[in-house]
Amino acid sequence: MRSPARHGVASPGWAARLAVAVMAMVTTGIVAAAGYVNYPAVAPDRAVQLPADHGSHPDFRTEWWYVTGWLETADGEPLGFQVTFFRTRPDLPAGNSSAFAPHQLIVAHAALSDQRLGRLRHDQRIARASHRLAGAASDDTDVWLGRWRLLREGERYVTRVDGAGFAFDLTLERTQPPMVNGHGGYSQKGPLAASASYYYSVPQLRVSGTVVRDGLPTAVRGKAWLDHEWSTAILDATAGGWDWVGINLDDGGALMAFRMRDRAGRKLWAAGTLRRPGRADAVFGPDEVDFTPGRRWRSPATGIEYPVSFRLRTGEETFGIEPLMDDQESDSRLTTGAVYWEGAVRALRGGRPAGLGYLELTGYGTPLRLPGDAGTR
């Protein structure tokens, strides 16, 4: 059993149960409608500024740093990896000086897509922000929870995770400039302008390091993708969830695309960004992005059915999206309350390999809720 004081984890112990209870209140809207905090709005006239915006934005309600990628061992075995750090500012009264008051919460998820095992290796952590347990620096990317960490050091990132049955220690070197999504980083997520985030990606990260499975270390190399996103309210009141993909293309380009679904599964909104070598990044609006579901898979653990392959149209380009393996479901009910599918995928163009990346599918079991969603959802 891990000690919460050592790791800040969602495991037995009163401190961990307190953190889980507070996060549950935030994600289910119990305190979201309290109105104690005047959160800043995401506005279209405010552009993302780098490097200043690499750090945390603690005034906003929610924020995440999301790293995904494909790795390969010396024997040629493919592995997908994912690590995400969330920062949430609960809607709680100001002036509480208690060291236990959760003025900021840090949540972390990590996973390995392991074909040899046939499913994800997955772990999660949650803690209130404090220098000892967890935090997110505001001057640059440096977010940690216990011994888990994501840190930017100039032109590279380092991330370390020590999970249940797996661990990784990876260096991610930048090979091209960040890709600013939407209009200057203002990324609309629905028909209402308030349903938006500030959002940029760092594609084509060159990865090296070590992965440990069941105590056995192996050297790995590969490519990764980083997303950094922050907001006050992302989901429209009629939204049920989203489908998102980030692909490192084989020609050195990059593709990010998403669609927001309503509760009947129809497209509510969509957008994307395509980077093509030697050309300006192309930004797509709702009429230029279509996700057409293909083959479906039903989880034996939860009974939830997901579309695990897609035909994706972005502008004049069409890609096939196929999973590394079907069982890449994550159960994060201990920390964020959500069950979702998130895994390594291949992109095909005309039936031929075009790139490697990650697909995320949320809201297929029950409608997704995020901190700040209306209490009536």
CATH of the domain at 91: 2.40.370.10
- The reply to whether 185 falls in a domain is yes
| Both tokens assigned to 41 | 């709005």
Evaluate whether 220 touches 72 at the Cβ level (below 8 Å): yes
Strand duo 62-73 + 216-231: pairing:
antiparallel
Evaluate whether 73 touches 82 at the Cβ level (below 8 Å): no
Low-confidence stretches of the chain (pLDDT < 70) are 1-34, 95-101, 234, 369-377
The per-residue pLDDT for 238 is: 85
DSSP, collapsed to helix, strand or coil, labels residue 40 as coil
Residue in the structure block whose two tokens are 């594609």: 203
How many Å separate Cα 301 from the centre of its chain? 22
Residue 189: domain span: 4-361
Burial of 96 (0-12, 13-18, 19+ CB in 10 A): exposed
User: Any idea what DSSP says for residue 130?
Assistant: B
| Both tokens assigned to 343 | 């895994």
| Both tokens assigned to 310 | 């897609």
User: Any idea what DSSP says for residue 51?
Assistant: T
- The reply to whether 331 falls in a domain is yes
- What distance in Å separates the CA atoms of residue 252 and residue 207, rounded to the nearest whole number? 15
Number of domains present in the structure of the chain: 1
| Both tokens assigned to 231 | 């907001």
- The reply to whether 48 falls in a domain is yes
First to last CA, the chain: 37
The per-residue pLDDT for 249 is: 98
- What distance in Å separates the CA atoms of residue 216 and residue 218, rounded to the nearest whole number? 7
- What distance in Å separates the CA atoms of residue 58 and residue 234, rounded to the nearest whole number? 16
Q: Which amino acid is at 374?
A: A
**Radius of gyration over every alpha carbon of the chain, rounded to an integer in angstroms:** 19
The per-residue pLDDT for 6 is: 29
- Nearest alpha carbon to residue 167 among 111, 125, 129: 111
- The reply to whether 369 falls in a domain is no
- The reply to whether 100 falls in a domain is yes
- The reply to whether 368 falls in a domain is no
- The reply to whether 371 falls in a domain is no
Cβ within 8 Å of residue 361, ≥6 positions away: 241, 242, 243, 306, 307, 340, 341, 342
The per-residue pLDDT for 370 is: 62
Residue 78 parent element (H or E): strand 78-88
Q: How many CA atoms lie within 13 A of 159 on its CB side?
A: 31
User: Any idea what DSSP says for residue 376?
Assistant: T
- The reply to whether 31 falls in a domain is yes
The per-residue pLDDT for 300 is: 94
Whether cis (ω within 30° of 0) applies to the bond prior to 51 is yes
- Nearest alpha carbon to residue 179 among 198, 199, 206: 199
Residue 278 parent element (H or E): none
